[in-house]
C-alpha cells in the first residue's frame, strides 16, 4: 500500500504548476446540504480532514450562506449530502469561485463547473487505486468485512483527469471516483468514513500545496490510571520506558468511585506519578471519575454521555425520566426550551467535573496537559466546553449527537472547527485488548496491522494505548515491534505547546517543559492533600513533635541551672 499512496501523490503532483510548499494562511469555506444528524457526521469528518491544512474553517449550510460573508476564502469544499435544489446565492458562488473547489455527493449537476462529470447509479466497490498503482487499497470495515458504503457510478469528459478509480464489486471494472478539471474536483460519494476519508485526506496535500513531513509521529498512552492502580507496576513500566528513551502519555482519573478514594488517599501512587512526570510521562485528564451513573464502575462508565439513553448528559444521574422528543411537546417553542435546559445542565456538569479534576491533580503537583473524554464519548456541546479549558485533545472524536457509536479518527493531527481551537492528537492503532486474547487472537498483531496501514499515509500518527494493570511483559513485546516501524518519532507533550486553564490556575508547556501559575486559594483539595500527607507521615510528625519537646525540655533545664547559678553568685 506504500506504493499505492506514493503513486497517488506522484499523480497529483503532475498536475501542480506550483511547487509544494508549507500551506499559507488558508481560509476554508465548508458549505453543505444536509438535513439530519447522520449527514452532519459526514460534515464533521470532512472538517477533521481539513483541520490539518487550515486553521480558519467556516462551516455553513447552503441555506444560511450569504455572499456578503464569503470574502477571502482560499479554498471551498461542498458536501452535497441531500438531494435538493441549491439556493441561488450558494449556487452562484460555487460556480464563480476561482480557487480550488472540491465537491462530494449530490447536486453538482446544478453547477456548470462540474459539467465534466456525469453521475449515475450507486455502486459498491472492492478497492480504490490511482491510475499508476499496481495494487488497489481494499475497501473494508474495521472487522475486515467488505464495506457497504455506496459510491456513485461516474463518467468523465475528455477534459477531466481521473485521480482515483474504484473497482466495481460486481465485475471488477474501474470506475472514476475522484476527478479533476482545472480548479474543480469531484468525489463520487456522500460518505467519507475511512478508508475514503484517509485517501481523500491524502489528496488534499497537493490541493493545499502542502509538503508532507518525513516520518510519523507516535505516542503510547497508559490508560485509566486512578486511585487503586498498583504503584509498583507503574514504577516498573516507567523505568522500562525511561530505559527505552520513549516519552509517553498517562491518562489519569483523579477519583475512584468504586473505592471512594481520591489522590490524597493514595500517597504512594502520587509519588510514582510524580516520578513518571519527571521521567518522560505527560498527564492527560481522563475525566473526573470516568462514570456517570452510580452503578457504573470507574474506568468503565461513560462520564460525559448517558449511554443508557444514548444521549448527552441532560439530567442528574439518579433521575430516570426518559429523553424527550419533539413528539412529546405541543409546540416547537416548548421543545426548544427543553433542549436548551438540557444543554445548560450539560455545560455546568462538564465544567464542574473538568475544574475539579484539574484541581485535584495539580494540588499534588500532577499537571494535566490535555484532555481525553472517557470512551471518546462527548457531545458537540461538550467539545465546546472542553475547549474553554484545554488546547489539546487526545484520542478519537464522537461526530454524532444522536449516538456515541459513530466516532472518527483522521490519520493525522488536526484542528477541526467543531473542536473550537483544540488540536486533536489522533489515536490510530487501538489497544492491547484482553478480549482478543480470550478469543485466541493476538492483540499486538492487530495493533501492528493498524500501524502498518497508518504508516502509508502522509503525516500520519501511529498511536495506541495500553492498560498498565496488565503489567510490563506485553508492553515490552508491543514496543519492540513498534520500534521496527521506520521513521517513528515519539512525541513528548511536555515539549509541545499546550495550555490548560481553569479559574486562578494556568498550566502551559513549551520547549522548556511545564510552567504553572497557581493563584488558587486554600481549597478542599489542598486541605485534603495536607491531611493526606499528615496521615502518610504520621511517624515523622510524631518524631518531630517529640524531638521538639525534648529540645525545649533541655533548654528549659539549662535555663534553670543558669538562673540558679546567677542567684548563688548574686
Tell me the pTM. Answer: 0.87
What is the distance between the alpha carbons of residues 147 and 90, in angstroms, rounded to a whole number?
A: 33
Residue 532 lies in a domain: no
Domain count for the chain: 3
Residue 527 lies in a domain: no
Q: Are residues 110 and 10 in the same domain?
A: yes
Q: What is the CATH number of the domain that holds 127?
A: 3.40.50.880
**286-314: burial string, b at 16+ Cβ within 10 Å, e else:** bbbbbbbeeebebbebbbbbbeeeebbbb
Residue 139 lies in a domain: yes
Q: Are residues 175 and 275 in the same domain?
A: no
Domain of 176? 2-207
Choose the final residue of a domain: 157, 177, 207.
Answer: 207
Q: Can you tell me the mean pLDDT for 329-343?
A: 91
Q: Tell me the pLDDT of the chain averaged across its residues.
A: 88
What is the distance between the alpha carbons of residues 263 and 356, in angstroms, rounded to a whole number?
A: 12
Q: What band does 469 get if pLDDT is binned at 50, 70 and 90?
A: very high
Q: Are 76 and 94 in contact (CB under 8 A)?
A: yes
**pLDDT value of position 83:** 96
Residue 28 lies in a domain: yes
Choose the final residue of a domain: 207, 238, 273.
Answer: 207
Question: Do you know the residue count of the chain?
Answer: 570
Alpha helices in 97-226 (DSSP H): 196-207
Of 151-165, 242-256, 391-405, 495-509, the range with the lowest mean pLDDT is 151-165
Choose the final residue of a domain: 207, 235, 262.
Answer: 207
Q: Are residues 364 and 395 in the same domain?
A: yes
pLDDT at 18 over 50: no
Q: Are residues 201 and 230 in the same domain?
A: no
What is the distance between the alpha carbons of residues 60 and 19, in angstroms, rounded to a whole number?
A: 31
**Residue holding cell 467556516?**
58
Q: Are residues 514 and 487 in the same domain?
A: yes
Q: Are residues 416 and 561 in the same domain?
A: no
Q: What band does 24 get if pLDDT is binned at 50, 70 and 90?
A: very low
Q: Can you tell me the mean pLDDT for 325-345?
A: 90
Q: Which residue has the higher pLDDT, 352 or 135?
A: 352
Q: Are residues 335 and 482 in the same domain?
A: yes
Q: Residue 348 CB: number of other CB atoms within 10 A?
A: 12
Cis before 30 (ω within 30):
no
Q: Residue 127 CB: number of other CB atoms within 10 A?
A: 21
Q: Residue 121 CB: number of other CB atoms within 10 A?
A: 7
**pLDDT value of position 559:** 56
Cis before 492 (ω within 30):
no
Q: Are residues 465 and 555 in the same domain?
A: no
CA neighbor of 133 nearest in space, from 215, 15, 12: 12
Q: Are residues 298 and 370 in the same domain?
A: yes
pLDDT at 273 over 50: yes
Residue 524 lies in a domain: no
List beta partners, residue 227. Answer: 229
Residue 214 lies in a domain: no
Residue 526 lies in a domain: no
Q: Are 167 and 127 in contact (CB under 8 A)?
A: yes
Q: Are residues 125 and 257 in the same domain?
A: no
Q: Are residues 45 and 158 in the same domain?
A: yes
Q: Can you tell me the mean pLDDT for 27-50?
A: 97
Q: What is the CATH number of the domain that holds 507?
A: 3.20.20.370
Distance (Å) of CA 13 to CA 21, 22, 135, 175, 561: 12, 15, 20, 22, 97
Q: Are residues 228 and 187 in the same domain?
A: no
CA neighbor of 368 nearest in space, from 290, 285, 289, 264: 285
pLDDT at 19 over 50: no
Residue 294 lies in a domain: yes
pLDDT digits (tens, 9 = 90+) for 157-177: 999 999 998 888 888 888 899
Alpha helices in 125-256 (DSSP H): 196-207, 231-243
pLDDT at 228 over 90: yes
Amino acid at each position: 500500500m506504500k506504493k499505492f499512496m506514493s503513486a497517488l501523490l506522484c499523480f497529483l503532483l503532475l498536475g501542480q504548476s506550483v511547487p509544494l510548499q508549507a500551506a499559507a494562511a488558508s481560509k476554508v469555506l465548508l458549505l453543505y446540504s444536509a438535513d439530519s444528524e447522520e449527514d452532519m457526521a459526514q460534515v464533521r469528518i470532512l472538517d477533521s480532514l481539513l483541520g490539518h491544512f487550515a486553521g480558519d474553517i467556516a462551516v455553513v449550510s447552503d441555506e444560511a450562506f450569504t455572499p456578503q460573508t464569503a470574502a477571502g476564502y482560499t479554498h471551498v469544499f461542498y458536501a452535497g449530502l441531500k438531494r435538493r435544489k441549491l439556493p441561488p446565492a450558494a449556487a452562484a458562488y460555487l460556480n464563480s469561485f476561482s480557487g480550488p473547489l472540491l465537491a462530494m455527493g449530490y447536486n453538482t449537476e446544478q453547477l456548470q463547473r462540474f459539467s465534466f462529470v456525469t453521475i449515475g447509479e450507486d455502486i459498491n466497490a472492492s478497492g480504490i487505486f490511482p491510475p499508476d498503482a499496481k495494487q488497489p487499497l481494499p475497501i473494508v470495515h474495521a472487522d475486515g468485512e467488505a464495506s457497504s458504503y455506496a459510491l456513485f457510478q461516474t463518467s468523465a469528459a475528455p477534459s477531466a483527469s481521473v485521480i482515483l478509480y474504484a473497482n466495481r464489486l460486481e465485475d471488477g471494472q474501474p470506475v472514476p471516483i475522484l476527478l479533476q478539471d482545472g480548479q474543480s474536483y469531484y468525489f463520487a460519494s456522500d460518505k467519507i468514513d475511512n478508508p475514503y476519508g484517509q485517501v481523500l485526506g491524502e489528496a488534499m496535500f497537493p490541493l493545499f500545496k502542502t509538503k508532507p513531513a518525513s516520518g510519523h509521529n507516535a505516542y503510547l498512552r497508559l490508560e485509566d490510571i486512578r486511585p487503586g492502580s498498583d504503584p509498583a507496576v507503574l514504577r516498573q513500566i516507567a523505568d522500562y520506558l525511561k530505559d527505552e528513551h520513549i516519552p509517553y502519555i498517562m491518562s489519569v482519573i483523579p477519583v475512584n468511585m468504586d473505592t471512594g478514594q481520591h489522590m490524597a488517599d493514595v500517597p504512594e501512587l502520587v509519588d510514582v506519578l510524580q516520578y513518571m512526570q519527571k521521567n518522560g510521562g505527560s498527564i492527560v485528564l481522563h475525566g473526573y471519575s470516568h462514570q456517570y451513573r452510580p452503578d457504573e464502575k470507574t474506568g468503565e462508565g461513560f462520564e460525559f454521555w448517558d449511554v443508557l439513553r444514548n444521549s448527552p448528559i441532560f439530567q442528574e444521574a439518579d433521575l430516570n425520566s426518559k429523553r424527550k422528543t419533539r413528539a412529546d411537546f405541543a409546540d416547537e417553542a416548548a421543545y426548544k426550551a427543553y433542549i436548551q435546559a438540557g444543554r445548560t445542565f450539560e455545560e455546568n456538569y462538564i465544567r464542574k467535573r473538568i475544574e475539579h479534576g484539574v484541581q485535584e491533580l495539580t494540588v499534588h503537583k500532577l499537571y494535566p496537559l490535555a484532555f481525553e473524554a472517557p470512551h471518546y464519548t462527548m457531545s458537540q456541546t461538550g467539545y465546546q466546553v472542553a475547549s474553554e479549558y484545554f488546547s489539546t485533545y487526545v484520542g478519537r472524536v464522537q461526530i454524532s449527537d444522536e449516538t456515541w457509536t459513530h466516532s472518527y479518527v483522521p490519520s493525522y493531527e488536526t484542528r477541526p472547527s467543531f473542536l473550537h481551537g483544540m488540536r486533536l492528537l489522533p489515536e490510530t492503532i487501538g489497544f492491547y485488548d484482553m478480549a482478543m486474547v480470550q478469543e485466541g487472537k493476538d492483540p499486538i498483531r492487530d495493533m501492528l496491522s493498524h500501524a502498518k496501514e497508518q504508516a502509508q499515509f502522509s503525516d500520519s500518527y501511529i498511536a495506541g494505548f495500553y492498560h498498565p494493570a496488565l503489567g510490563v511483559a506485553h508492553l515490552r513485546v508491543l514496543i519492540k515491534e513498534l520500534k521496527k516501524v521506520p521513521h517513528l518519532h515519539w512525541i513528548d507533550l511536555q515539549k509541545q505547546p499546550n495550555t490548560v486553564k481553569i479559574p486562578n490556575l494556568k498550566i502551559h508547556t513549551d520547549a522548556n517543559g511545564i510552567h504553572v501559575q497557581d493563584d488558587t486559594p486554600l481549597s478542599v483539595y489542598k486541605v485534603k492533600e495536607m491531611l493526606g500527607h499528615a496521615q502518610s507521615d504520621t511517624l515523622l510528625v510524631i518524631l518531630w513533635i517529640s524531638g521538639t519537646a525534648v529540645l525545649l525540655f533541655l533548654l528549659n533545664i539549662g535555663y534553670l541551672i543558669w538562673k540558679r547559678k546567677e542567684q548563688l553568685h548574686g
